[in-house]
Amino acid sequence: MGIVKCVGILTSGGDAPGMNAAIRAVTRAAIYNGLQVKGIYRGYRGLITDEIVEFKSQNVSNIIQLGGTILKTARCKEFTTPEGRKIAYEAMQRHGIDALVIIGGDGSLTGARIFAQEYNIPCIGLPGTIDNDLYGTDTTIGYDTALNTILDAVDKIRDTATSHDRLFFVEVMGRDAGFLALNGAIASGAEAAIIPEFSTEVDQLEEFIKSGFRKSKNSSIVIVAESELTGGAMHYAERVKNEYPQYDVRVTILGHLQRGGSPTAHDRILASRLGAAAIDAIMEDQRNVMIGIENDEIVYVPFSKAIKNDKPIKRELVNVLRALSI
């Protein structure tokens, strides 16, 4: 214990609201525990290009309410090569950084795992992604805020859908995970969600039409998860236009607005707890784990487990949506 003196912190991959709250929490908790903190800009790229500065408590003042990430984020191809990671390691040595906290998604934690194995560096991951697709944690930083953004957008779309008796396909983010689509559909009272998890099981559009779409309603909203597995909202709109030309179909792709905005209370609290726990983990000599939250308790999830496993969608949620959309 006690071998770590200086922690480097970076945000990597897709940005998510609440990353700033996590940066603040890691920085303050580290300083509280007597550690030095170095902020690394633009994810792993900042290690390679040497964009590294000392962070004091004031560096993270007034950021808890901000979306995005003050440390910036990037995707860095060079870091996926052994040569790139060697340059990154040398920068860490120059700056005296002896542990890393990485805030990011699946890809970022994969990079952390490889880096940690190669150079024997304690790496702690925080699940920062709106997609909620990391195994071993009930929720991820940014997911709740994105869900609320979807809710706000769909409420507005419903006004126009109802006025014109239209069928709307609303595409939401989530990569290959349907959490945003499914819970977004339940929360907004949408008629159905088309999610990648079930794309190979059933024809979800056919199910929706068969289940009596529009028997008792004059408008409908279907949330579609963006994914190669679903084909996206445009794909379904085209199908309906061809197969059911009597319906007035429209598409809205919510896109990057789902990534922005001030984090919700839930995401700020989550990020604060996870950030503080990352420093607890370092003080306890933990390494190569993602900090998660399960049943409201902090858990340490080995990278191998968090990355390799697909987080399952609860069937109960699918049943709730089906029952409530009649």
Q: How far is the CB of 113 from ligand ADP (least distance, A)?
A: 8
Q: How far is the CB of 40 from ligand ADP (least distance, A)?
A: 12
How many residues belong to the site for ligand ADP (CB under 6 A)? 17
User: Based on CB atoms, which residue is closest to ligand ADP, 122 or 127?
Assistant: 127
Q: How far is the CB of 323 from ligand ADP (least distance, A)?
A: 34
Instruction: Kindly write out the interface string for residues 42-61 of this chain, putting x where it contacts ligand ADP by CB under 6 A and - elsewhere.
Output: --x-----------------
Contact residues for 214 (Cβ-Cβ < 8 A; gap 6+) = 167, 220, 247
Distance between CA atoms of residues 39 and 34, nearest Å: 16
Whether 131 is catalytic: yes
Q: How far is the CB of 75 from ligand ADP (least distance, A)?
A: 3
Instruction: Kindly write out the interface string for residues 76-115 of this chain, putting x where it contacts ligand ADP by CB under 6 A and - elsewhere.
Output: x--xx-----------------------xxxxx-xx--x-
Q: Which amino acid type is present at position 68? A: G
Distance between CA atoms of residues 313 and 320, nearest Å: 13
Distance between CA atoms of residues 165 and 249, nearest Å: 9
Residues written for the chain: 326
Q: Which one of the listed residues 106, 131, 133, 144 is annotated catalytic?
A: 131
∠ Cα 119 12 301 (to 5°): 65
Whether residue 227 contacts residue 204, with contact meaning beta carbons closer than 8 Å, is answered with: no
Distance of CA 122 to the CA centre of its chain: 23
User: Based on CB atoms, which residue is closest to ligand ADP, 111 or 136?
Assistant: 111
- Hey, which residues between 16 and 45 contact ligand ADP (CB under 6 A)? 44
- Chain residue whose CB lies nearest ligand ADP: 107
Strand order in the sheet with 192-194: 192-194, 220-225, 167-172, 249-253
Strand partners for 224: 171, 194
Residue whose C-alpha is closest to residue 197's, from 222, 176, 169: 176
Q: How far is the CB of 47 from ligand ADP (least distance, A)?
A: 10
* 236 lies in the binding site for ligand ADP (CB under 6 A): no
Q: Which stretch binds ligand ADP (CB under 6 A): 75-83, 187-195, 212-220, 290-298?
A: 75-83
Distance between CA atoms of residues 73 and 58, nearest Å: 21
The set of catalytic residues is 131
* Contacting positions for ligand ADP (CB under 6 A): 12-14, 44, 75-76, 79-80, 104-108, 110-111, 114, 129
